[in-house]
Every structure is written in structure tokens, then in C-alpha cells.
Structure 1
Amino acid sequence: MNYLAHIFLSGDNRKIQIGNFVGDAVKGHAYKKFSPDFRKGILLHRAIDDYTDHHPLVREAIELSRGEFGRYAGVITDIFFDYFLATGFRRYTGKSLRRFAFGFYASLIVNYRYLPERFKGFLWHFILTNRLVKYASLAGIRRSLEIMVEYKNLGVDPDKAIGFLAANRVQLQGIFERFFPDVQEMSRVKLNENMIIN
């Protein structure tokens, strides 16, 4: 899952959302330096990644794109899934994507001092380009892919990825629609558990 899904799956607690958002940048036991709600978000991020990596529907989507994108198929699948979530956000979540995104941006600014340095470096660009809402358009996900090619050395042609999505949209979206309720339920259970955060 990519940024939008990780944030949404965190429930309504802003610090848990932020912890989940920055989860990739917090390695090993470094999460212990954060306050309990941030820690819970970071651990939830890890749980979502592990669950997603082992889910047969996600593996089906990755296999569908592996022939085109090789070892980057998982990254591409994450982006496609955020696109499907964004385009149907109200249907999947009962919420307005724009309102959800702007509420999250505000919480990032309020909690700026707690963010890992890696996230501070691109935070303003992320907010000012309205990245979460832009996931709802093909142009927006193309731009996200271009950023990843430039800054994360993603070995994928963004135009080729958009073409692949257009050609396989029905199948990929069907996989997402079957998978998303499963990861929602897993996340809900995790949020209600007393996850080890010490």
C-alpha cells in the first residue's frame, strides 16, 4: 500500500496516521524514540506491509504486472491501489478525499517537529502539490511515478505504467476491490489491539 491507504487505514487519530505515514523511514527499534501514538502508527505500517506482502490477491496483482515491470511490480501495484482508493474514496470510505487530505496536511504541519528528517525534506512539496488528492487522476499518479524515478531511482517508464493501468484497469480494480475490505479489517483489529509499543 502507498501513502493514501496507509494514512486512511490508521483510523482517526492524527498521530497514528502520521506514524503510519512515516513508517518506511523508521527502521528497527528507532520507533521507540517516538510517543505512544506515533509508535502505534509505525507498527501498524509494518503490520499492513507484512499483511499486504503475503495476501494472495496482492500477489495476483503483482504477478499480472511482473512481466512488464520486473522487480518493480510491487511498487507499481502500490501506486495503482492508491489510485483506485483515491478515485473511489467516498465509496470505499464514506469520506471526502479533499477534506480528508487537507485535514491530514494540517496535522503534518502541527506535528512537523516530530517528523523524520527525510520527510521534512519533501513535506512542503507534498502538501503544496496536493499529492494525496492528485492520486485520483492519471496525471497525478504519473507525476508521482516521475518523482520516484527522479529521487528514488525507480526503474520504470511512467508512461508505460499508465498505459499498463489503462489496458488492465478492470482486472486490477477488481483485485483491489476484493482485497481492500480484508486490509481494512486487519487494520481495524490491529488498532483495537494493545500492540506492544514500549
Structure 2
Amino acid sequence: MNYLAHIFLSGDDRRVQIGNFVGDAVKGRAYENYPLGFREGILLHREIDDYTDHHPVVREVVDMLRGGFGRYSGVLTDIYFDHLLARSFQSYSGQSLRWFAFGFYRALVLNYRHLPERFKGFLWHFILTNRLVRYASLSGIKRSLEIMVEYKNLGVDPGAAIVFFERNQDRLQELFDRFLPDVQKKCRMMLEADISC
């Protein structure tokens, strides 16, 4: 799952959402240095990643992509799933993606001091380019991939990734719609179990 899905699966607590958002940047036991809600989000991020890596639907999408994109198939699966979530966000969440994103951006600014340095470095660009809302368009996910190619050395041709999505979007949508309720249920269970302990 990519940024939007991680935030969406965090429930309504902004601290948990932010912790989940920055989860990749917090390694090992460093999560213990964060306030409680952020810790819960960081641990939730790890649980989501583990759960999705082993889910049969995700494995099927990765296998679909492997022939054309090799070891980057998992990254593209994350991006495609964020796009599918974003473009129908209202129906999945009951709220507008714009309002959801605006509220989250505001929370990021208010909690800036808690963000890892890596996130502080790109936060303003992330907000000013309205990255979460841009996931709803193919041009938006293409731009996200271009940024990843430029700054993270992602070995993927963004144009080819978009062509693959367009040719397979019905099947990808079907798989995503099977996967989302499973991961939502898993996250609700984890949040109710207070995973920060």
C-alpha cells in the first residue's frame, strides 16, 4: 500500500494517520521515541505491509506485473491500489478525497516537529502539489512515478506503467475490490487491539 491507503486505513486519529504515513522512515525500535498515537501508526504501518505482502490478491497483481516490471512489481501494485482508492474515494470512505487530504495536510503541518527528517524535506512539495488528490488521475500517478524514478532510482518507465494499468484496469479494479475489505477488517482489529503496547 502507498501513502493514501496507509493514511485511509488508520482510522480517524490524526496521530495514528501520521505515524502510518511516516512508518517507512522509522526503523527498528526507533518508534519508541514517538508519542503514543504516532507509535501506534508506525506499528500499524508495519502490520499492513506484512499483511499485504502475504495476501493472495496482492500476490496475484505482483505476478501480473512481474513479466514487464520485475522487482518493481510490488511498488507498482502499491501505486495502482492508491489510484484505485483515490479515484473512487467517496464511495469507499463516505467523504470527499479533497476534504480528507486537506485535513491530513493540516495535521501534518501542526505536527511538523514529530516528522522524521526525511519527511520534513519533502513535506511542502507533497502538500503544495496536492499529492494525495493527484493519485486520483493517471497523470497524477505518472508524475509520482517520475518523481520516484528521479529521486529514488526506481527502474520503471512511467509511461509503460500507465499503459499497463490502462490495459488491465478492469481486472485490477476487481482484485482491489476483493482486497480492500480484507485489509480494512485487519486494520480495524489491530486498532481495537491497541497494537502500541
Same-fold call, TM cutoff 0.5: yes
SS in 2 for 1:154: coil
> Residues of 2 paired with 1:57 and 1:20: CA distance?
22
CA distance in 1, matches of 2:92, 2:106: 23
Q: Find the aligned partners of 2:188 and 2:194 in 1 and give their Cα distance.
A: 12
SS in structure 1 at match of 2:175:
helix
In 1: Cα distance, 2:58 partner to 2:71 partner: 14
The match for 1:15 is 15
What is the CA distance between 1:92 and its match in structure 2?
Answer: 1.0
| Identity between Structure 1 and Structure 2 (%) | 68
Q: Does residue 69 of the first structure (1) align with residue 69 of the second (2)?
A: yes
Consecutive aligned runs of 4 or more in structure 1 exceeding 6 Å deviation: none
TM-score (norm 1): 0.99
**Mapped pair 1:153 → 2:153:** yes
Q: How far off its partner does 1:93 sit?
A: 1.1
Structure 2 Cα separation of the partners of residues 153 and 30 of structure 1: 26
SS where residue 12 of structure 2 aligns?
coil
Contact 2:36 2:196 (8 Å CA) reproduced: no
CA displacement, residues 105-155 of structure 1 (integer Å, 9 cap, x when unaligned): 000000001100000000000000000000000000000000000011100
In the alignment, structure 1 segments of 5+ residues that lack a partner are none
Deviation by residue 1:29-74 (Cα, 9 ceiling, x = unmatched): 0000001100000000000000000000000011001101000000
The equivalent of 1:54 in structure 2 is 54
Matches within 5 A, 1:96-175: 96-175=96-175
Q: Which deviates more from structure 2 when the two are superposed, residues 187-196 or residues 133-142?
A: 187-196
Deviation, structure 1 residue 194: 2.4
State how far apart, in whole Å, the 2-side matches of 1:94 and 1:189 are.
20
Shift of 1:95: 1.2
Aligned to 1:181: 181
| Count of residues in Structure 1 that have an aligned counterpart in Structure 2 | 197
Match of 1:42 in 2: 42
Structure 2 gaps, min length 5: none
Q: TM-score, normalising length from structure 2?
A: 0.99
C-alpha deviations, 1:67-116, integer Å up to 9, x for none? 01000000000000000000010111111100000000000000001100
Between the aligned partners of 1:176 and 1:58, the Cα distance in structure 2 is 8
- CA distance in 1 between counterparts of 2:195 and 2:135 reads 31
> For residue 3 of structure 1, what is the aligned residue in structure 2?
3
Kindly report the root-mean-square deviation, in angstroms, between the aligned alpha carbons of the 2 structures.
Answer: 0.6
Q: How many Å separate the matches in 1 of 2:62 and 2:169?
A: 13
SS of alignment partner, residue 195 of structure 1: coil
* Distance (Å, rounded) in 2 between the aligned partners of 1:162 and 1:116: 31
